[in-house]
């Protein structure tokens, strides 16, 4: 579910209203960044790259400029090599 949301440039699933007795899930179907979808299509086509599930989520986090957890940082070398991500100083960003 998280991968699909990231791949379609939608908000991640929101479980914040869940408690010990009930799961409350909110899914937002609105595409928040159409340019991100175009980017994913273009990078896949031009570089003939197949992304893993965690890659989509990592790219989405980078696109939203959020702090990367360790599992996402572990994917950075592969994303750099694929041409999907650039490093500028200590910051990572989607490739131009």
| Helix residue spans in 32-86 (DSSP H) | 34-47, 53-63, 70-73, 76-82
Give the pLDDT score at 3.
66
> Whole-structure pTM over 0.85, yes or no?
no
Using one digit for the tens of pLDDT, what is the confidence trace for 14-37?
Answer: 888 899 999 988 877 776 777 877
Mean pLDDT of 81-96: 89
């Amino acid at each position: 579910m998280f991968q699909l949301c990231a791949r379609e440039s939608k908000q991640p699933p929101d479980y914040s209203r869940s408690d010990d007795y009930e799961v409350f899930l909110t899914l937002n179907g609105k595409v928040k960044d159409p340019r991100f979808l175009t980017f994913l299509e273009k990078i896949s086509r031009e570089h003939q790259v197949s992304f893993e599930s965690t890659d989509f989520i990592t790219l989405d986090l980078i696109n939203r400029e959020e702090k990367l957890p360790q599992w996402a940082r572990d994917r950075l070398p592969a994303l750099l090599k694929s041409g999907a991500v650039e490093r500028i100083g200590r910051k990572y960003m989607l490739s131009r």
